Chains A and B, each alone.
Chain A
């Protein structure tokens, strides 16, 4: 049923499942496709293809694995007149994403101070479940955060104006409407602003060990042996509640619009509907919360570097969304048109000269940041023209889980894991031992293989490889 197109492409024909309106395409090598076939990912890609008004293909990236409704690592674009928007197609952690910071120092300056640096970061950045943020903002102020995103943070002393150009959407989706975010979502979010979270969220101190493209790396502000910081976090309870709320609204809305779906988690409404419009404005508000959240953590990273390393000259390389729906212009059937691109565990990967990029990155292309699992490599890639023409300007977002949390905990205890990490020269600070064991590196796919598949398929190009020296987990 599945047809191999080339070394990195597998086509899911419409005959794969009744009701598919478009084809599916999975980007993977032979080993990764074997892993992808082991769970329900393929079925989920096919289920997405049954939704009305999608254009192009239902896509899965090399790190794809089974999710809820949509697979994780899925991309689908909808026609603005005929198509649908699905809250599940964005996911619960709206604008869960990654930010990369470049420090002014090399590994030789940081290695001897890695323990005090991690301890400082652990003191300054709240993490783990149930931990409050350092500031308790009013409901009025929270609405400003939801409207202005990272700009709010910069205006309140968290970081620099120049950081904003280095964030997808400049750190603020302008269509956000805070009044469409429920009081419950705001209650979950107001004391979580400026917190890392738990689960797969982390902050890592890494060193650039390899540079594949010197010129692009230079334009990104990255060089060999440099110490960089990777932050993986999202919109916290606020975003989770926005998705929960609108899944219910969409579920009720489907009856009204005569829609039915094969999996309740795929609940969707027409983009042109009142419910769809309201969801997208609430989603944008939650996305802005996440941008502000990562901006605040950036400020605290600078303070920790100042205190422990003696310099706060830490620059933002880029900040990308992993879970988002965006209005973008793409070529569909030979002509350019606006579509709504759902990225569920996928990264935007725009090429050089794209107008969405700031002037300073125009000639290089958009940085695509791919975190590996705890203790393994991470990568910086750059977007390509091929991604633009084939995947709605999208690429993978990480290594992708290969093992359940319960299995991970059964196989390795947290203490064993800490010992293994120490043996690799990685210092780990974690809030929860159980949480640590669930995130052990081999619970994930091999990130090197995932990145090679993306590079090989041409939907992003390798720029540099990063290896962790310090890990902070919730």
Chain B
């Protein structure tokens, strides 16, 4: 991942991973969500016209990352809400509050790619030095 890139897609023999970074852990979480949605569809075809609030509780940062991405995935697969913009208002190891912007899926207009089945704990990494944050997560395709 070169400097300035929000996320990169990683190799995995069967599926794929996402590495995301940011100045804060919240930004890295936002970028990881953007990375996951870019696997599912061409997010440049999504208009951020609706807002969905999200609140998640967990027991550690790793679980928060999996639950956060699983929430974004559920909005897509369960509610057909294609998310394109992510903004975290609060992130602690046990609580996350965010707003997600996007629109309902339109099979004609949105260029879809492939289903993400789930977010895994496989080789999951969450790092935050205070100045820079980095997360890595693998997705089941």
Contacts and interface: CB of A to CB of B under 8 A. Distances in A.
A434 B113 contact: yes
A33 B114 CA distance: 30
Interface in B1-25: 9-16
Interface string B36-47: 000011000000
A401 B14 contact: yes
B50 interface: no
A184 B13 contact: no
B54 interface: no
Contacts of A265: 120-122
Contacts of B16: 404-406
A435 B110 CA distance: 15
* Interface size grouping (class) on chain A: 35 or more
A102 to B, nearest CB: 29
Contact of A93 (B63, B117, B120): B117
Interface in A239-285: 240-241, 243-244, 247-248, 251-252, 263-265, 267
A130 interface: yes
Contacts of B11: 404, 406-407
Contact of B77 (A237, A247, A407): A237
Contacts of A39: 13
B48 interface: no
A402 interface: yes
A177 interface: no
B13 A128 contact: no
Given A130-B107, A130-B112, A240-B117, A405 B122 contact: no
B124 interface: yes
Given A92-B140, A184-B78, A243 B13 contact: no
A243 B118 CA distance: 9
B131 interface: no
Interface stretch (A66-74, A149-157, A223-231): A66-74
Interface in A93-149: 93, 128-131
A305 B48 CA distance: 43
A199 B141 contact: yes
Contacts of B120: 68, 92, 265
Contacts of A65: 13-14
B55 interface: no
B119 A244 contact: yes
A435 B80 contact: no
B117 A434 contact: no
Nearest to B76: A130
A438 interface: yes
B122 A263 contact: yes
B13 A401 contact: yes
Contacts of A247: 121
A187 interface: yes
Given A129-B40, A188-B78, A265-B122, A438 B114 contact: yes
B78 A130 contact: no
Contact of A264 (B67, B76, B121): B121
B9 A406 contact: yes
Contacts of B114: 129, 198-199, 432, 434-435, 438, 474
Contacts of A434: 113-114
Given A130-B41, A130-B105, A432-B114, A187 B13 contact: no
B129 interface: no
A129 B113 contact: yes
B124 A264 contact: yes
Interface string B45-86: 000000000000001001100010010001011111000000
B138 interface: yes
B103 to A, nearest CB: 13
Nearest to A129: B115
B118 A240 contact: yes
Contacts of B12: 66, 404-405
A406 B139 CA distance: 13
Contacts of A131: 107
A130 B107 CA distance: 7
A187 B79 contact: yes
B15 A405 contact: yes
Given A129-B112, A130-B112, A435-B113, A67 B14 contact: yes
26 contacts: A65-B13, A67-B14, A92-B117, A93-B117, A129-B112, A130-B105, A198-B114, A199-B114, A199-B115, A237-B78, A237-B115, A237-B117, A240-B77, A240-B118, A240-B140, A241-B74, A241-B118, A243-B118, A244-B70, A244-B118, A252-B59, A401-B13, A403-B13, A405-B16, A406-B16, A435-B113
6 smallest beta-carbon distances between A and B, as pairs: A264-B121, A404-B11, A68-B122, A187-B78, A92-B118, A129-B115
Given A240-B117, A241-B118, 12 more contacts: A65-B13, A66-B14, A91-B140, A92-B120, A130-B110, A184-B74, A187-B78, A187-B79, A244-B70, A435-B113, A438-B114, A474-B115
